[in-house]
């Protein structure tokens, strides 16, 4: 995958988002893995795109009432089929981490990239998602030299007690094996 100087992944579908702003003078040094589905456990709906665009119809499902007035986004979403969507350029600050801390540093949105996987914190993830996530992560590691294996975490790691994603179904060992394999492109074709 190719990431340009503006922080756009050329292989991702680009979608509108209204919930982001300029990063403070901060180097990207953290990758945060999340999960999302709207409604929870339902996949392939338009509601994630609508949420990040600030246009979700909170009357469309009873569980959406808590989303009224919420301003949230992520840099990217990887759907169940492995398709990559980008909402916020990596050079900008997406609003994905909320109240958060990593190694004593508050406000993780300032220095992190947030990637959502379509799923729940109780679900397992698809091989297609792992492969796309590994490819994207490899590109991010090449683009942002302050990122490394120890600085790739789940939302639950930076907001313990408040967040549980990506959940027990996320196979960290498998993800790291794919990400740090010598030739992830070859793995994708098998």
Q: Which residues does 57 contact at the CB level (< 8 Å), separation at least 6?
A: 50, 64
Residue 14 to residue 3: CA distance in whole angstroms: 13
Q: Which of 22, 103, 116, 168 is catalytic?
A: 116
* Residue 116 is a catalytic residue: yes
CA distances from 72 to 64, 105, 147, 168 (A): 14, 21, 23, 23
Q: Which residues does 20 contact at the CB level (< 8 Å), separation at least 6?
A: 73, 87, 88, 92, 93, 94, 95
Which residue blocks in the chain are alpha helix, DSSP H?
47-53, 127-143, 155-158, 172-179, 184-188
Distance, C-alpha 71 to centroid of its chain: 16
Beta bridge partners of 78: 84, 117
Contact 95, 71 (CB under 8 A): yes
Q: Among all residues, which ones are annotated catalytic?
A: 116
């Amino acid at each position: 995958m190719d990431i340009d100087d503006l922080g756009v992944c050329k292989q991702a579908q680009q979608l509108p988002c209204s919930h982001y702003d300029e990063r403070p003078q901060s180097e990207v040094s953290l990758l945060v893995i999340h999960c999302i589905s709207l409604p929870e456990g339902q996949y392939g709906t338009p509601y994630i795109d609508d949420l990040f665009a600030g246009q979700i119809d909170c009357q469309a499902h009873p569980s959406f009432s808590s989303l009224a007035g919420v301003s949230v986004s992520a840099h990217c979403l990887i759907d169940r089929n492995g398709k990559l969507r980008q909402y916020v350029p990596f050079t900008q600050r997406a609003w994905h981490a909320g109240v958060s801390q990593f190694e004593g540093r508050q406000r993780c949105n300032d220095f992190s990239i947030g990637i959502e996987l379509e799923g729940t914190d109780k679900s397992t993830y698809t091989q297609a998602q792992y492969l796309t996530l590994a490819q994207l992560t490899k590109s991010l590691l090449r683009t942002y030299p302050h990122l490394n294996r120890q600085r790739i975490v789940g939302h639950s790691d930076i907001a313990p007690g408040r967040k549980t994603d990506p959940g027990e179904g996320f196979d960290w060992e498998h993800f790291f094996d794919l990400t740090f394999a010598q030739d992830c492109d070859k793995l994708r074709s098998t």
